[in-house]
Amino acid sequence: MSDNRPTSHRRVSRRAFLETGAALALGAAGGLPLATPSIAQTRAIKLTLPWLANGSTLFTYVAKNQGYFKKRGIDVTISRGFGSVAAAQAVGAGEFDFGFVFAGGVILGAARGLPLVAMGTLGYDATMGIALRTDSPIKAPKDLQGKKIGIVSTSAEAPYWPAFAKKAGIDTSGITMVQMDNRVLEQSVINKQVDAITAIGTSTVPVMMALKQPCRFMLWSKYDVSLYAGQVLTRAETLAKDRGLCQAVTDALVEGLVHALKDPEAGVDIFLKEVPEVGVVKGGRENAVISQALMHYTLLAPEAEKHSLGYTDMAKAGAMVDMVMEFGAPKDAKRPDPAKLFINDFVGDAGKLTADQWATVKKNVAEYAAILG
């Protein structure tokens, strides 16, 4: 998982496909401010996802199902989101205690004055890029010159198309940008109405695979146009008042993600148990398998492999803030301080995998790495 736009997980005839991931609030909540609190003192917390529940966020349900919250005195309610921008706003407004929100939405929220803190990175590439048919003659960025490209103006990646074009040395004068509805985006390239589309890979690739259309993807991160994906988010006030709770929530989510990384099939089984609506819809399990694998692909980064899942590279965080301010933020937005917006205070051993375990993860996502690579 798509993402700093409400439409980051675009859907076409998607309706049936991605309604498979519909996220329902799953229970009452509770949690203690300490990492190992007394169960008798549990306190309710609410966590929002960036969008509908799907494979890219199934680890949150694994953490709930496997008792990683409960053993820390936390009983959590997990709710669907309506895009990372809206999810960041909901956390900032106090509607939710915590969120799993893409970095673009976090940075935009902070630039608009919301008191947000990203406590950990669980996804190192928002997978902005260009989606193509496998048989497309477009092999390199400059091959886009003179072509028709579909784009959704409100999408997460749309603001950063000029940045990619500049970095990749593309002459855009002969390119026709075709404004599209997100519901028909993938069909437009499948049906050759356009030569390519701008897209979020973790959103568009599952759709095209479900439509039995082989595809290729040109990641903008390969050209130094990159945003992190999922951030464990809270408010500055919560961090200041309850660091123990913030540590416990971060650890529980990391533990759930590690569980899913080590046994992705079991992760899908747990997810379908927690959100049974997904499993009863045609293609539901397939969607969960694909979107989980794509999310796991985004974890293959030096930050996670050399340090730990959750670790944020502060130099990259600063560069992301600068890019959002230049291309994605309104003119009256104020640049947030990356050192205050992103922290590594809660990164620990829970997110460390061995070299053999990382090798297994890479093997498990090899099919999708070939598409996104």
Give the pLDDT confidence of 259-303 residue by residue, as tens digits.
999 999 999 999 999 999 998 988 899 999 999 999 999 999 999
Q: Please check whether residues 201 and 234 belong to one and the same domain.
A: no
Q: Residue 95: inside a domain, yes or no?
A: yes
Q: Please check whether residues 43 and 82 belong to one and the same domain.
A: yes
Residue 16 scores a pLDDT above 50: no
Q: Residue 2: inside a domain, yes or no?
A: no
DSSP 58: H
pLDDT tens by residue, 206-227: 989 988 998 999 999 999 999 9
pLDDT tens by residue, 225-262: 999 999 999 999 999 999 999 999 999 999 999 999 99
Q: Please check whether residues 233 and 348 belong to one and the same domain.
A: yes
Q: Residue 142: inside a domain, yes or no?
A: yes
Strands 215-219 and 98-102, by their bridges, are unpaired
Residue 34 scores a pLDDT above 60: no
Q: Please check whether residues 182 and 233 belong to one and the same domain.
A: no
Q: What is the mean pLDDT of residues 91-109?
A: 97
Looking at residue 373, its pLDDT comes to 74
| Tokens representing residue 76 in the block | 């959590």
Looking at residue 324, its pLDDT comes to 97
Q: Please check whether residues 242 and 307 belong to one and the same domain.
A: yes
Which residue from 28, 30, 25 is spatially nearest to 249, judged by alpha carbons? 30
Q: Please check whether residues 233 and 334 belong to one and the same domain.
A: yes
- pLDDT above 90 covers what percent of the chain? 83
Residue 100 carries which side chain, given as an amino acid letter?
F
Q: Residue 326: inside a domain, yes or no?
A: yes
Consecutive H or E run containing 272: helix 264-274
Q: Quote helix, strand, coil % in the chain, to nearest 5.
A: 50, 15, 35
Mean pLDDT is highest, among 82-86, 275-279, 313-317, for: 313-317
Residue 131 scores a pLDDT above 70: yes
Q: Please check whether residues 93 and 231 belong to one and the same domain.
A: yes
| Tokens representing residue 124 in the block | 């190192």
Specify the number of domains making up the chain.
Answer: 2
| Whole-number average pLDDT of the chain | 90
Q: Residue 368: inside a domain, yes or no?
A: no
Residue 61 domain boundaries: 14-125+227-357
Q: Please check whether residues 218 and 231 belong to one and the same domain.
A: no
Q: Please check whether residues 233 and 351 belong to one and the same domain.
A: yes
Looking at residue 281, its pLDDT comes to 87
Lowest mean pLDDT among 9-23, 27-41, 119-133, 343-357: 9-23
Q: Residue 208: inside a domain, yes or no?
A: yes
Q: Residue 304: inside a domain, yes or no?
A: yes
**Boundary of a domain, candidates 178, 199, 223:** 223
Q: Residue 9: inside a domain, yes or no?
A: no
Q: Please check whether residues 120 and 249 belong to one and the same domain.
A: yes
Residue 177: CATH number of its domain: 3.40.190.10
Residue 29 scores a pLDDT above 50: no
Q: How far from 349 is each of 91, 184, 205, 235, 311, CA to CA, in Å? A: 27, 44, 32, 24, 11
Confidence of residue 153 (pLDDT cuts 50, 70, 90): very high
SS3 of 291-335: the string is: HHHHHHHCCCCHHHHHHCCECCCHHHHHHHHHHHHHHHCCCCCCC
Looking at residue 1, its pLDDT comes to 44
Q: Please check whether residues 116 and 217 belong to one and the same domain.
A: no
**Boundary of a domain, candidates 158, 188, 223:** 223
Looking at residue 40, its pLDDT comes to 52
pTM: 0.86
Lowest mean pLDDT among 27-31, 61-65, 177-181, 199-203: 27-31
Q: What is the mean pLDDT of residues 181-203?
A: 95
Q: Please check whether residues 241 and 342 belong to one and the same domain.
A: yes
Looking at residue 283, its pLDDT comes to 87
Q: What is the mean pLDDT of residues 57-79?
A: 98
Cα 52 to Cα 42: distance, rounded to the nearest angstrom: 27
**Boundary of a domain, candidates 172, 193, 223:** 223
